[in-house]
Structures are given as C-alpha cells and as structure tokens.
C-alpha cells in the first residue's frame, strides 16, 4: 500500500495492454485494479465472489446469462455495477474503456470457469504497476 495518493490516470498511462488489470492498491483482502479494455473479453464465472466494475472512461457493456436468459447491462462513464457470484458474464467495449475493479486478492481475471481464451485476454490475478 502506498503512503501517497495514487493517480488513476497516471496508473492507466503506465501500460497499454488490454484486458490485463493492474493492481493499484489493496484494501483489506481486496485488490483495487484498473484495466484498459476494448472489443470482447470472454464468457466466464466467478463461483465464490461478486465482481465490482466502475467505468472511469468510455462505455462498458456486460452481457449476463441468468435464469436461462441473456441480457446486456450498459455502463456509461461514471457508472458502477456488481456482477453477482455465480453469474456467467462477458464484458465488452466496442469503442474502448478504462475501468476500476474490486476483487478479492488472487481472483483470476477470467474467473473459475471460462470459454477458451483468445490471445488478447490475459488470464491473471493482476499485475503490479
């Protein structure tokens, strides 16, 4: 944990990789992560934890599969949304976005179960800045 304020814009400027979250700081047993995203992620599920999203810039879409139906949540800049544990979801951003995530330390970015990973999706528990 840094004893100084952390600029999220500087943190985001420090890397270019998409779908490859960076750990900005930790709160108790949670990582605070930032990521740059564009195009589609992958359908995945976090069996044991909710997933918090905040859109810092751009727009994020989150497709959800619940109760045999599929729907998409649209998150404009400044919006937050929590995907409940056990819900299959696929984030995407046709125009690109920057996001903030809260997840328990050690949570894999592609969940506990996921579709085959495309080359542009990083399966990680978060990279340091």
Q: What is the pLDDT of residues 44-94, one digit of tens each?
A: 999 999 999 999 999 999 999 999 999 999 999 999 999 999 999 999 999
The tokens describing 46, both together, are 């976090």
DSSP labels for 113-125? EESPPPTT----S
CATH number of 8-120: 2.60.120.10
Specify the long-range contacts of residues 32-35, CB closer than 8 Å, at least 24 apart: 32/100, 32/101, 32/102, 33/100, 33/101, 33/102, 33/103, 33/126, 34/8, 34/98, 34/99, 34/100, 34/101, 35/98, 35/99, 35/101
The tokens describing 38, both together, are 């564009």
- Measured distance CA(107)–CA(102) in Å, rounded: 10
For the question of whether the overall pTM of this predicted structure is more than 0.85, the answer is yes
pLDDT at 1: 65
Question: Hey, where are the domains in the chain?
Answer: 8-120
Q: What is the pLDDT of residues 33-43, one digit of tens each?
A: 999 999 999 99
Mean pLDDT value across residues 16-40: 96
Bridge partners of 70, per DSSP, are 65
């Amino acid at each position: 944990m840094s004893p100084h304020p952390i600029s999220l814009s500087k943190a985001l400027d420090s890397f270019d990789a998409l779908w490859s979250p960076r750990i900005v700081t930790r709160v108790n047993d949670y990582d605070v992560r930032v990521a740059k995203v564009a195009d589609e992620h992958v359908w995945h599920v976090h069996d044991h934890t909710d997933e918090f999203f905040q859109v810092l810039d751009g727009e994020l879409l989150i497709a959800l599969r619940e109760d045999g139906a599929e729907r998409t949540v649209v998150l404009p800049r400044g919006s937050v949304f929590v995907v409940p544990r056990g819900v299959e979801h696929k984030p995407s951003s046709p125009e690109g976005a920057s996001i903030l995530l809260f997840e328990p330390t050690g949570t894999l970015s592609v969940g506990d179960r996921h579709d085959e990973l495309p080359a542009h999706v990083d399966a990680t528990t978060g990279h340091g800045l």
